[in-house]
A and B are shown apart, each in its own frame.
Chain A
Amino acid sequence: MVGRRYYFYLLYLNATVNFVGLIPQILYKNRLGGSVSSLVLSSLVSVLFMVIFHQQMNKFPGKNISQIMKGSFPDWFRKMFLMYYLLLWYWSGLFFLISLTKISRTFMDPNMSSLLIFILFLILVVFSAMLQSESILLMLEIVVLMEVPFHLLVIGMFSTDQFVNVDFMIEAMTYILHYPNYDSLAAASFIYAGYTNILLFNEQIRPIQKKHVIVAGTIGVFVLFTTYFIPIGYSGLQGIGKEVYVWLTTADSMHFEYLFVQRMTYILLFVYIGISLMFIILSWHSSLQFLNMMIFKNGGTAKWVAISFFVVVAFFVHQSTDEINLLRFFIWLLNIRFVSDILLLIILLRSAKSRSVA
C-alpha cells in the first residue's frame, strides 16, 4: 500500500498530458459552437462519475477489476471486457506516442528521421512498461514533481503578462449559450479520466474518500479551464483555430524577459516529453496488467507475445498516419473512451449490487 498522493499524481498526469494529445485542438474546433458549454457539462458529469466510481470501488478494498467482476458476470464477458480495456489503453498509449514523435521532430530537428525518434521512444516505453506497478508509481511521482514548477511558471507568467488580451477570453466565454457537442464533451472529460487508473492500482493505493474527490475535481477544473482559455488570451478566438500545437505556440508567445532563457518553448517541450512518455508507459503497463488478469499469470510467453504484437502494430500505425488523420483518430479514441467509462460504471454498480445480494 502506498499513500493517496499517488492518486492525485495519476489524475494530474492524465490532465496535463492533453497538450500532446491534441485535445486543445479538438476543443477549439467547436470554439464558436458548443465547446464552452461542453467544458462545463463535462466537469459536472466527470465529477459525478468520480463520486460514483469511488463509492463502488470502496466496497471492494484492495481488489482489482478482474476480482470485482468475478462472480457477478460470466467468465467470457469478463475476459472480453478485459480484452477491450487492454486494447483501449494500448491504442491511447500508441496515439500519444505517435503524436509525441511528431511534435518532437517538428520542434527539435525537422531534418531528423521521424522513425528514429519513434524507435528511441519505443525502446524506453516498452522496457519501462514491463516494470512492477510500484516502480511505475514511484517513477510517476518524480515526473509529476518535476512538471509542477514549470506548470506554475507558465500560469504565473500568464497572470502577469500585459500582452494577454482579456477581451479575447471574454469573447470566447460568450459562446456558452450554444448546446454542448459530443466531440468536445468527450475530449474535455479525458482531462478527468485519470481516476480510472484505480482499476489497476486499487491494490496499491489506499481507498479514496469523498474529500479527495473534491480536491481532485478542483485540480481537474483548474487544468481544464486554464488549458482552454490561456491560449485564447494569446492567440485570439479566430487565430487559435489555425494553431496545430496550440500550447507550444502559446509558450512561445510568452516573453520571459528576466529568465536565463528567453524562449521557454524548448524547456516546456522537454517537460511535455517527460510527462507524455510517463503517460504512455502507464497506459502500456495497464494493458499488460489487463493481460495478466485475463490469463491469471504474471509474465511468461503471453507477455512477450503481447509486447511483440504491440511493437509490430505500433510500427505499422506510425508509418501510415499523418497529422490530419491522427487528429481524427484522437477524436474517435476519446469518443469511445467516454462511452467505455459509462460502461465501466454500469459494470461496477452491477457487481456491487450482486455482491450485496449474495
Chain B
Amino acid sequence: MIIFLPGCTSKDIDKRAFVTAIGIDKSETTGKKFKVITKISLSKGDPKSVGADFTLLTFEADSISEAMRRMKSLTDKELVYGNTKAILIGEKVAKGDIRFLLDFFMRREDIQKTAYLGVAKPSAHEVLQYKPQVEKVAGSYLFSVFDYTGSESPYVSSLFLFDGYRRETDAGIDMAMPVIEFDKGKLKIDKIALFNKKNIQMVLNPEESQIYRLLTNGIQNGHIHLKTNAGTYAVKIEKGKTDYKLNESKATNLIQIRLNGSVEENMESSGDLNNTFIKDLEKQTEKKIQEEVRHLLVSIQKKKLDPIGFGLRFRSRHFNHEKMDQQWNGLYARLEFQVVPECKIKGTGLIR
C-alpha cells in the first residue's frame, strides 16, 4: 500500500504541469475541427509565493483527445488534469453540438466531475487569455464566481460537469450554463444560456437570468426596480424561493414564490414609507415578479426547453412509462403557468 501512497506514482511534482482550465473553440484554420486551450498554472508549490502566473497551450486537432495528447509535445512536463475546475465551451462550439464534449470529459477518470461548465463569448481563448487583477491562483477568478462561497451573484447559475451530463442523458430536464463574456477588457458573467440536449437555444438577459435563478436555486441579494404611480423604488430581495405543483387535469403549473425583501433606494425623496405604503409596494413587487416569471416561462416553453425540470417531475409521478414522452410533450405545449408570488418587505434600511 505504501508504494501507492505518494500519489505521484512515477513522476515528481516538479515534472508536472497543472491544468486549471480547459477551453474548446472552433478551429480557425481549415481542415481541423477544434482548437483546445489549456490554462496551466505556473505556481511553484510554495504556498507563500503562489502566483497567478499562467501560460496557455493551444493545439488544433480533429478530436479533443488528439489535441490533449499532442499538447504534451509543447511542454517538457506531464500535463495533469486532476485540478481542472473549469471547462469553457466557445460560443461557436456551443451552437454546434456539445454532446461529445460532455461524453469525453465524463469518460476521463482524471477530470473532476465537479468541474464548472460555461459558455465563453466571443471565444474560450479570449476568456482564458484574460488575466484578472484580483486573481490569486491562475483560473481562480472563474471558480470563485461559480462557487457559492465566493460570490453570491444572483445572475450566475453554475453548472457542474456531472449535472450537465445528467441533463444531457435524461429526458425531462435540460441544461443551462452561465455565459462568460469578455468585453472591453473585463469579464462579465451575468447571462445564462439555455440548451436543449444538443446545442445552445437561447440566451437570457441579466434580468431574466435573475428570475431563472429565483425559479431554480433561489436567490440571495437580488434586485428589483419598481416604477409605481408614486415614484420609483428599488427593492432588494434578501431571500427568494420557489415551489411548483403540476396539475395534469387542468394543465396548469402552480408556481409559488416566496420573497423576503427590503427597500433599498427611494428615488422619490418626498415620499414617507409608512405601513400602508409598504403594503402597496409589496403588491407592486408581486405583480412585477408575476409578470416577469410568466413571461420567462412562456418564452422558454415556446422554445420547447425545460431547464427547470417540469418534465422530470411529470415522469417521476407516473407509473406507466409507455408513451410518456408524447403525453408530456402534449401537456407541456398547452401548460399554463399560474404564478403566485408572496412578497414580504421587512425593512426600509436605516431610515424610513
Contacts and interface: CB of A to CB of B under 8 A. Distances in A.
A165 B171 CA distance: 13
A266 B9 CA distance: 14
B170 A237 contact: yes
Contact of B3 (A120, A165, A168, A174): A120
Query: Chain B at the A interface: mostly helix, strand, loop or mixed?
Result: loop
16 contacts: A106-B109, A111-B10, A112-B9, A165-B312, A167-B309, A167-B316, A170-B316, A170-B317, A174-B315, A175-B321, A238-B170, A238-B171, A252-B113, A252-B114, A252-B162, A266-B7
Interface of B: 1, 3-4, 7, 9-10, 82, 106, 109, 112-114, 147-149, 160, 162-163, 165-171, 173, 217, 309, 312-313, 315-319, 321
A335 to B, nearest CB: 27
A73 to B, nearest CB: 43
Interface centre among A168, A236, A239, A266 (most CB of B within 10 A): A236
Nearest to A269: B4
Given A163-B160, A171-B312, A174-B318, A107 B113 contact: no
Nearest to A110: B109
B9 A174 contact: no
A253 B113 contact: yes
A138 B313 CA distance: 49
A104 B5 CA distance: 12
Contacts of A252: 112-114, 162
Contact of A263 (B106, B112, B217, B309): B112
Nearest to A107: B109
Given A107-B109, A273-B1, A174 B321 contact: yes
Interface of A: 32, 104, 106-112, 120, 162-163, 165, 167-168, 170-171, 174-175, 177, 234-239, 242, 248-249, 252-255, 257, 262-263, 266, 273
A107 B82 CA distance: 11
Contacts of A236: 165-167, 169-170
Given A110-B109, A257-B149, A104 B4 contact: yes
B319 A177 contact: yes
Contacts of A175: 321
Given A163-B160, A252-B113, A234 B166 contact: yes
A323 B112 CA distance: 22
A248 B162 CA distance: 12
A108 B160 CA distance: 23
Contact of A249 (B3, B149, B162, B312): B162
Nearest to B78: A111
Contacts of A263: 82, 112, 114
Query: Chain A at the B interface: mostly helix, strand, loop or mixed?
Result: helix
A165 B109 CA distance: 23
A174 B114 CA distance: 28
A239 B106 CA distance: 11
Contacts of B114: 252-255, 262-263
Interface centre among B114, B160, B163 (most CB of A within 10 A): B114
A108 B318 contact: no
Contacts of B10: 109, 111-112
Pairs A-B, 10 closest by C-beta atoms: A236-B166, A236-B170, A171-B316, A239-B169, A170-B316, A253-B162, A109-B9, A252-B113, A238-B169, A239-B166
Given A239-B169, A253-B162, 9 more contacts: A108-B7, A120-B3, A163-B163, A165-B173, A167-B309, A167-B313, A174-B318, A252-B112, A252-B113
A253 B160 contact: yes
A108 B309 contact: no
A37 to B, nearest CB: 12
A257 B148 CA distance: 9
Contacts of A171: 312, 315-316
A174 B315 CA distance: 9
Nearest to A162: B217
Contacts of B169: 236, 238-239, 242
Contacts of B309: 165, 167
Nearest to A242: B169
A273 B2 CA distance: 13
A172 B201 CA distance: 29
A147 to B, nearest CB: 15
A108 B4 contact: yes
Contacts of B148: 257
Nearest to A253: B162
A174 B109 CA distance: 31
B4 A234 contact: no
A234 B162 CA distance: 8
Nearest to A257: B149
A257 B82 CA distance: 16
A235 B166 contact: yes
A313 B185 CA distance: 65
B107 to A, nearest CB: 9
Interface centre among A106, A165, A273 (most CB of B within 10 A): A165
A170 B160 CA distance: 22
B323 to A, nearest CB: 15
Contacts of A104: 4
A117 to B, nearest CB: 8
